[in-house]
Amino acid sequence: MKRKLQLVVIGNGMAGMNAVEQLMKLTDSCDITVIGQEPHPNYNRIMLSYVLDGSKTMDDIVINPRAWYDEAGITLHTGTTATRVDTTRRVVVMDNGHEVGYDRVIIATGSTPFILPVPGADKQGVIGFRSIEDCDRMMEAAKLYKKAAVIGGGLLGLEAAKGLVQLGMDVTVVHLPDFLMERQLDEKAARMLQTELERQGLKFALGKQTQELIGGERVEGLRFSDGTELEAEFVVMAVGIRPNVELARASELAVNRGIVVDDYIRTSAPDVYAVGECTEHRGVCYGLVAPLFEQGAVLAKGLAGVETKPYEGSVCSTKLKVSGVDVFSTGLFLETPECVCVTFHDAWKGTYKKIVLKDNVIAGAVLFGNIDDASKLERLVKQGAEMTEELYNELTGAGGCCGTKANAAADFADDDIVCGCNGVTKKMIVDAITEQGLTTLDEVKACTGASRSCGGCKPLVEQLLQHVLGDGFEAGGSKQGICGCTTMSRDEIVAAIREKGLRSTKEIMNVLDWKQEEGCSKCRPALNYYLGMIWPQTYQDEKESRFVNERMNANIQKDGTYTVVPRMYGGMTTPAELKKIADVSLKYNVPLVKMTGGQRIDIVGVKKEDLPSVWEELDMPSGYAYAKSLRTVKTCVGATYCRFGTQDSMGMGALLERKFERIDYPAKVKFAVNGCPRNCAESCTKDIGIVGNDGGWEIYIGGNGGIKARLADLLCKVKTDEELIEITAAVLQHYRETANYLERTSDWVERIGLEHIHKTTVEDAEGRKQLVARMDEALSSRSEEPWQQVISDKGLRDKMFGKVVFQQ
């Protein structure tokens, strides 16, 4: 058997692992060892801003989990630093004393944040922004401190600043030039960007040079060269990066600003390569993701013995990853005497487009507000395309054509990158579609990784699907309904119920041509919910359309017994209620009584036939632990008892629980109310999280502590209890009316957007009042407790607990 090539990759980041992935698609002739300094598997560093703002978790941005390395036969060392490549003995030396022999080495050590060499830069509370650990430190700081400064108004600085604002901090961006992103934008686009970010809560100190960080052991502020100061308890440095070249120097490789590589990504030593942000190619060091993927493609082909064109440098393009802000630039963007610019500015719509021509060749562009033409312009700049009358009309709309836009992705070269986050080329997507019979965006995403991160390339992926499949393509794939019984979506069904006045599940299925006459276990509960949400005063709930736990008013366990959970408003109870729970538990031989994470008591192991009697003797409200309803409102002791408390969290928690209980929501809903920012009741992982402070309350939404953990987003701050209750009611009703059935608020917020929810429930006062009115109508329709219905209705009781077989 032929001996496999021993390949050692130093660096477990995006550059090195992308090269490895591309190599593995070309050959299986390598035994691969990866040495990573961080303790994590390979993750998508450009998605850190989403982790910081809470819209994604660490698990969401992992590109290759540990299991992938095992399945691929790759030996992975994490938390380990390679210190030197001994090119004489052909071994890589690690900081733990171990050595790994090699035939080829790839150095992919990336870069580190540049920390300004000013007095005080070593104080506590001063960090860079480059790793998941930096995100963790920033999120921890946001819990303890309120005022932050981000030094640097470039891409990374703005993403860090917006993330800190999302975490509730008062953030000022400090920038030496007079306008933002001066390396990617002209002044016009930069001013428009600043205006939009100010609207989103950011503050700016432009034209300011940081002279010193002031304070004791911990930073307390910044002093500028003009003598002015800015208060700050936390400072993030985002002023640039430096290639990591220490290992290369220790290995006696040629190093300038970065590790010097040639057009085939080779260093000055035989069989030693370098890729990504640690490199310098033709005098240029790149800090964006697209160049490292382009370098990786050349490197992988070279290692696999496949003929390849040399790497000749990259045309850099930029997109800002901040919610609600569409910004793009590519190539040249500043006007010079030898350039001609085609410029459009629509102040009313807030859009701006500038195309830079040099000798009538499209050399660069800037877009703000509408970036639909970003991919096309990026390709035209890379091609060095000449501006023509036809192209001018297409890019500006001057030709008055109202037909369908050209398929931009179809014109990409095979090696052009479609998904910049994951380095997926056009050829990789086209091959996957043709070879594996893919027909939908989700299938392409699962197979290639394209669009699985920021989602910005979804239109291009769909264009490629359309290009390859032709007439067989449907946008979004074949139309899918809420289940196999219908092709209708949630919104179409809700609209039809309203327009046609449909009043029962059977009527819906008949009028809307359900494929199965009786529906299925997926659509029946959804239709039952939609009917109750639309007609709260008149709709008669269909018990047979509910899930088993909801029909039994208890949670079924794996042994066939049930768990009964009485409600305890705000986590509070009385000695008399505790005695009831104890007496009932003893009487009915309950094997376990357990405290829950929601500050209630589970009575575990109740027999099915005992459920009505247990509820009757408890004579306590149900905690709805089985329902798509308000489950718990967790509270701390707040100002009533705690020396740190600023608000009455127990009283507010009990009030909210009593107000919003016993009506249906699309999925289960959990609250938490804290009396101060210390967050003892864990508002950050609840559907609705309330945090008290000296000035009133903060309202957070969309948190989840379950399988898909998500930190809640700050929706707004209010001064009075009345405002808190009103906005909470509006948010819950908006969720009831727009969420898919079984869609948790965490997914709902990500799908429709925090900005939209804020506009609808906070900014639009009239719309908010209408939502609250509809919520009040739903609340007023609440009937007696469900367990009381069972007790009082003998027919229903006999059906559920007597001879009738209960369908689970």
* Whole-number average pLDDT of the chain: 87
pLDDT at 474 over 80: no
pLDDT at 800 over 50: no
Lowest mean pLDDT among 233-242, 269-278, 556-565, 787-796: 787-796
Assign 737 a pLDDT band (cuts: 50, 70, 90).
very high
pLDDT tens digits, one per residue of 309-329: 999 998 888 877 666 688 989
Assign 798 a pLDDT band (cuts: 50, 70, 90).
low
Q: Which long-range contacts (CB under 8 A, 24 or more apart) does 782-790 make?
A: 782/662, 782/663, 785/621, 785/622, 785/662, 786/553, 786/622, 787/553, 787/611, 787/612, 787/615, 787/616, 787/622, 788/615, 790/553, 790/611, 790/612, 790/615
- Stronger pLDDT, 323 or 577, i.e. the higher one: 577
pLDDT at 807 over 60: no
Assign 782 a pLDDT band (cuts: 50, 70, 90).
confident
pLDDT at 494 over 70: yes
pLDDT at 356 over 90: yes
Rounded Cα–Cα distance for residues 255 and 246 (Å): 9
Domain(s) labelled CATH 3.30.413.10 in the chain stretch across 627-784
Domain(s) labelled CATH 3.50.50.60 in the chain stretch across 5-110+243-304, 115-239
Contact 268, 294 (CB under 8 A): no
Tokens found for residue 710: 């998500």
Tokens found for residue 325: 């802000």
Q: What is residue 797's DSSP assignment? A: H
Tokens found for residue 126: 């001063």
Contact 200, 324 (CB under 8 A): yes
- Stronger pLDDT, 476 or 379, i.e. the higher one: 379
Lowest mean pLDDT among 24-28, 567-571, 680-684: 567-571
> Bridge-partner residues for 424, per DSSP?
419
Q: What is residue 680's DSSP assignment? A: T
Topology adopted by domain 115-239? FAD/NAD(P)-binding domain (3.50.50)
- Quick one: pLDDT at residue 299? 96
Rounded Cα–Cα distance for residues 235 and 261 (Å): 35
Sign of CA dihedral 238, 242, 244, 250: negative
- Quick one: pLDDT at residue 685? 92
pLDDT tens digits, one per residue of 128-185: 998 899 999 999 999 999 999 999 999 899 999 999 998 889 999 999 999 999 988 9
Contact 759, 768 (CB under 8 A): no
Assign 793 a pLDDT band (cuts: 50, 70, 90).
low
Q: How many CB atoms lie within 10 A of CB 324?
A: 13
Query: Could you tell me which CATH class the domain 627-784 is placed in?
Result: alpha beta
Average pLDDT over residues 460-479: 72
Question: 114 to each of 121, 239, 243, 258, 395, how far by Cα in Å?
Answer: 11, 6, 10, 14, 39
Q: How far does CA 220 lie from the centroid of its chain?
A: 31
CA angle, 260 then 265 then 266, to 5°? 70
Side chain identity, residue 266: R
CA dihedral 579, 583, 585, 591 (to 10 degrees): 100
Cβ partners under 8 Å of residue 197, min gap 6: 158, 161, 162, 180, 204, 322, 325
Assign 378 a pLDDT band (cuts: 50, 70, 90).
confident
- Stronger pLDDT, 287 or 697, i.e. the higher one: 697
The fourth-level CATH superfamily of domain 5-110+243-304 is FAD/NAD(P)-binding domain (3.50.50.60)
Lowest mean pLDDT among 269-283, 404-418, 515-529: 404-418
With a pLDDT cut of 70, the percent of the chain lying above it is 92
Nearest to 245 by CA among 107, 117, 345, 114: 107
Q: What is the three-class DSSP state of 532?
A: helix
Q: What phi, psi does 483 have (nearest 5°)?
A: -160, -175
Rounded Cα–Cα distance for residues 155 and 322 (Å): 9
Assign 6 a pLDDT band (cuts: 50, 70, 90).
very high
Q: What phi, psi does 581 have (nearest 5°)?
A: -60, -45
Average pLDDT over residues 339-352: 88
With b for 16 or more beta-carbon neighbours within 10 A and e for fewer, the 464-502 pattern comes to: bbbbbeeeebeeebeeebbbebbebebeebbebbeeeeb
Rounded to a whole number of angstroms, the CA Rg of the chain reads 30
- Quick one: pLDDT at residue 805? 30
Burial label for 576, CB within 10 Å (0-12, 13-18, 19+), is exposed
Contact 777, 739 (CB under 8 A): no
Sign of CA dihedral 425, 68, 159, 220: negative
- Stronger pLDDT, 548 or 201, i.e. the higher one: 201
Question: 544 to each of 33, 608, 783, 790, how far by Cα in Å?
Answer: 58, 17, 18, 14
- Quick one: pLDDT at residue 806? 29
- Stronger pLDDT, 470 or 86, i.e. the higher one: 86
Q: What is residue 75's DSSP assignment? A: E
Rounded Cα–Cα distance for residues 64 and 45 (Å): 13
pLDDT at 558 over 70: no
Q: What is residue 284's DSSP assignment? A: B
Q: What is residue 646's DSSP assignment? A: -
CA dihedral 714, 715, 721, 725 (to 10 degrees): -130
The shares of helix, strand and coil residues in the chain, as percent rounded to the nearest 5, are 35, 25, 40
Q: What is residue 387's DSSP assignment? A: P
Domain 549-622, CATH among 3.90.480.10, 1.10.760.10, 3.30.559.30, 3.65.10.10 = 3.90.480.10
Reported pTM: 0.59
- Stronger pLDDT, 789 or 71, i.e. the higher one: 71
Side chain identity, residue 440: T
pLDDT tens digits, one per residue of 406-426: 566 777 778 777 887 777 888
- Quick one: pLDDT at residue 290? 83
- Quick one: pLDDT at residue 106? 98
pLDDT tens digits, one per residue of 439-450: 877 778 777 878
Domain(s) labelled CATH 3.90.480.10 in the chain stretch across 549-622
Instruction: Using the structure block, give the residue that is written with the tokens 């009042």.
Output: 769
Average pLDDT over residues 282-301: 91
Rounded Cα–Cα distance for residues 418 and 424 (Å): 6
Sign of CA dihedral 31, 35, 36, 41: positive
Cα-Cα end-to-end distance for the chain: 58
Q: What is residue 346's DSSP assignment? A: E
Q: What is residue 39's DSSP assignment? A: S
Rounded Cα–Cα distance for residues 798 and 791 (Å): 10
